[in-house]
Structure formats: structure tokens, C-alpha cells
Amino acid sequence: MSKRKPPLDEKALAFFRRTGRIGGKRSMETMTAVERSERARRARLAGGGRKPVVDGEKVLALRAEGRTLKETAKAARCSVPTVVRILRQARDARLGRKGGQATARNLTQKQRSEAARKAATTRWAKAKGV
């Protein structure tokens, strides 16, 4: 049994001769920049493309109202992990967490030395498998 497709009938061949090349390359040649932008905008509105940036203040306000994570995500049109990430970032900013360098600046030389010694001891213990 042959895997070749049967030839197209004359009606189909006439259609293809009339329309020329079909697809994205042809439309790129025939569309203006404005038309391409409009097509991309419609595709984005239809659900394709990059997701819009989530409004963090809206997420915080929804959670302050007492909504669940799932309800907040649905209202903000994002995922639950995105809501959790926004809430964590807001909490960290509120508590003043800025990372290891800021913590080290607030410690005395003796405290920094002790923290480094403890970290090194922990690393060596892990390396030895203790």
C-alpha cells in the first residue's frame, strides 16, 4: 500500500494557484506593520502571548479582605504560586529583610566571626557525612 497522498483535484489546484503561498511568511510579506501589530494585539487578547504583569497592591488588598489564596489568584488573574510570591515579597519588605550583607553590617566583628565559624563547621560536617 502506497503512503503517497492522492493528487489534488483541479478545483483545489485552481484555488491554490489563485491564492499563492499560504501561511505566516506570506502574511508577513503582504501585511503592513500596523496590521501585524493589530493581529498580535488580538492574539494577546484571545489568550495567547505573555501574561500581563500582576498588580501586587491588588493582591494584597484582596488578601486583606479575607479572601483565600485561590480566590485571590482568580480575581487577580494569576496563579496561586504568584500570589504566594507577592505576599512573601511584601512580608520581607515590611520586615526589612535585605539579605546577608545587610545582616553582616548590623553585627559586630565578633558576631560575624562566630557566624562564619559556625557555618564552616556545618559545611565540614556535611562534607564528612557526619
Parts of the chain belonging to CATH 1.10.10 = 52-97
Q: What is the mean pLDDT of each run of 10 residues along the chain (130 residues)?
A: 74 73 67 85 74 86 94 92 92 73 82 90 83
CA angle 17, 18, 21 (to 5 degrees): 65
Can you state the percent helix, strand and coil of the chain, rounding each to 5? Answer: 70, 0, 30
* pLDDT at residue number 23: 62
* pLDDT at residue number 38: 87
Spatial distance between the Cα atoms of 110 and 13, rounded to a whole number of angstroms: 85
Q: Say if CB 57 and CB 86 are below 8 A apart.
A: no
* pLDDT at residue number 106: 82
Cell 501585524 -> residue = 36
Spatial distance between the Cα atoms of 42 and 35, rounded to a whole number of angstroms: 11
Spatial distance between the Cα atoms of 73 and 82, rounded to a whole number of angstroms: 8
Fold of 52-97: Arc Repressor Mutant, subunit A (1.10.10)
